[in-house]
Amino acid sequence: MRRPEKLALIAAVLSAQAAFSEQAAMADQTGPTFTAVPLADHIYDGGWEHYVGGGLAVFDCNGDDLPELFAAGGENPSQLFRNTTDSRTAALSFVPQTPEALALTGVTGAYPLDIDGDGILDLAVLRAGADVLLKGLGACDFTRFDRLAVTGDDRWTTGFSATWEAGNDLPTLAFGTYVDRSDPDGPFGTCDDTLLYRPVDGSYGAPRLLSPGYCALSVLFSDWNRSGRADLRLSNDRHYYVRGGQEQMWAMETDPRLYSAEEGWRPYALWGMGIASRDMNGDGLQDVYLTSMGDQKFQLQSPATDGPVWEDVTYGYGTTAHRPYTGGDGRPSTGWHAAFGDVNNDGRDDIFVTKGNVEQMPDAAQKDPNNLMLQQTDGTFSEVGEAAGIASLHRGRGGALVDLNRDGLLDIAVVNRRAPMEVWQNTSAAAGNWILLQLRAPAPNTRAIGAFVEIDIDGRILTREVTVGGGHAGGDSGDLHVGLGDAESAMIRVIWPGGRAGNWQRVMRNQRVVLTP
């Protein structure tokens, strides 16, 4: 999308947003409410290699359309929690039923995706040790891929993303690694390289090392400029690269290269923990939320340039979440997993962030509640975590903001370090209308990774990119949730991987729809 097109689009967007905000201001303003779900204990624990990580993979592994939870355990075995919820209106229910292939130790996180194109979701499992690709067999059973092993050796993996590059039958995989534990001069200043696996002849060979590495804690492939090519963004932990490093984005050319300042890339040095990406202002471009120690960065992609430029929003947006809002500890916060989602279905995306001290960092808050920032009609955000019931003071790590019982309301799950995992069911009584969208495509890319979904709600267009990656050490593969507010329907179309645009179609409110090419 070139600059004149962007500017013309912005004018239309602003007009539609103004009309929508006026309608939304008259809607019920009752805040969201969440109810704690009883759950068997699962604790992410271990030594310094598990100060970070603690990811959560959310996906349906038995074909009943209800997503399961696969939680990293660190030195404890990872666990699979089967979703045993009876119906859409019932209370959420999960039972630990972990097959042998998933009961792994050393796990820092996991991401679901269909690697081999058979329609059954597989798992990329990240570890302090050798990473593992697990083939889904159906009925929540898994086995190791015999021909698609990755050779990351004994590294410390803390981030992952995947995309399908043009002409390939297998996805390109990126594993973000942390400190090089074998370096005797470590840990400070000894960040390991990112591992890039591009398929060759139906398999994966030795990885390409993307160097320099700056201790990546979150990795995301995204077609940020709608060019048809996904580039690789890394959020890096300043704590270990100490100096000389920054956030990174690799242009995924035949020979990958880092974007430069001359192209518009702006250097940021963060204690980077997680990436969330979504078009938040309706201009069709992907904005980002970056978690860190101290303030979090909410950045809007600049429409005035074709380069990779994101600009911090002002403090007045209410998104920095830099100190705890309850618990009595006023020291700076530590953010981990972040997710965008419309928790009250008012048509405006909100922001969820897991929080928690690394371990005993004296300059950071020990009591650090998760954030739930509700977007207001003027585009600013208001903290509602305590009122909503999700203000846990455990050391949060990985998380999920996903509709776990397909009732149209986004629920929350959080893996905690040295404390039990928590799940909260969204029991909001005054939420608006919604749609759940499920994309299905022919092999090899059966989940249409790289597609863009455009949703027209009374003239206001939302854009969703389908990705694998981001967050903190975990992600979900499932339905795209869209809040409609008071709208009775929406017009929807998909720009499928490869660029072919489907037809606009009307979808009525409060239903789950499968979209195919």
Residue 91 neighbours by CB under 8 Å, 6+ apart:
35, 37, 85, 425
pLDDT at 5 over 60: no
And the tokens for 176?
């973000």
CA distance 401 to 66: 14
pLDDT at 25 over 90: no
pLDDT at 517 over 60: yes
pLDDT value of residue 22? 42
Q: Compute the half-sphere exposure of residue 247: CA atoms within 13 Å on the CB side of its CA.
A: 27
Write the single-letter amino acid at 516. T
For the stretch 283-305, pLDDT in tens is: 999 999 999 999 999 999 999 88
302 CA to centre of own chain: 21
The sign one gets for the Cα dihedral 33, 39, 41, 45 is negative
Residue pair 235/247 in contact by the 8 Å Cβ criterion: yes
For the stretch 309-330, pLDDT in tens is: 999 999 999 999 999 999 999 9
Residue 255 neighbours by CB under 8 Å, 6+ apart:
none
**Mean of the pLDDT values across residues 349-372?**
96
**Mean of the pLDDT values across residues 30-54?**
96
* Residue 184: DSSP 8-state: T
Residue pair 373/391 in contact by the 8 Å Cβ criterion: no
For the stretch 60-96, pLDDT in tens is: 999 999 999 999 999 999 999 999 999 878 899 999 9
pLDDT value of residue 152? 64
CA distance 226 to 162: 17
* Residue 315: DSSP 8-state: G
CA distance 26 to 145: 54
* pLDDT bucket at 8, cuts 50 / 70 / 90: very low
User: Which residue is associated with the tokens 């470590």?
Assistant: 186
* Residue 26: DSSP 8-state: T
Residue 49 has φ and ψ, to the nearest 5°, of -70, -10
For the stretch 157-185, pLDDT in tens is: 999 999 999 999 999 999 999 999 889 99
And the tokens for 308?
């990779």
pLDDT value of residue 149? 80
**Mean of the pLDDT values across residues 232-236?**
98
In 3D space, the residue among 198, 214, 308 whose CA is nearest the CA of residue 253 turns out to be 198
And the tokens for 220?
């995301």
Residue pair 97/80 in contact by the 8 Å Cβ criterion: yes
346 CA to centre of own chain: 21
What is the pairing mode between strands 56-59 and 476-477?
A: parallel
* Residue 207: DSSP 8-state: P
* pLDDT bucket at 212, cuts 50 / 70 / 90: very high
Residue pair 416/337 in contact by the 8 Å Cβ criterion: no
Mean pLDDT of the chain: 93
pLDDT value of residue 450? 98
List the Cα angle 191/193/197 in 5-degree steps: 155
Helix (H) or strand (E) holding 20: helix 3-25
Residue 10 has φ and ψ, to the nearest 5°, of -60, -40
In 3D space, the residue among 131, 135, 310 whose CA is nearest the CA of residue 231 turns out to be 310
For the stretch 108-164, pLDDT in tens is: 999 999 999 999 999 999 999 999 999 999 999 999 998 888 876 789 999 999 999
pLDDT value of residue 89? 80
476 CA to centre of own chain: 7
Helix (H) or strand (E) holding 300: strand 297-301
**Mean of the pLDDT values across residues 373-383?**
97
- Order across the sheet with 511-515: list the strands: 480-485, 433-439, 511-515
Partners of 81 in the beta sheet?
69, 96
CA distance 339 to 277: 8
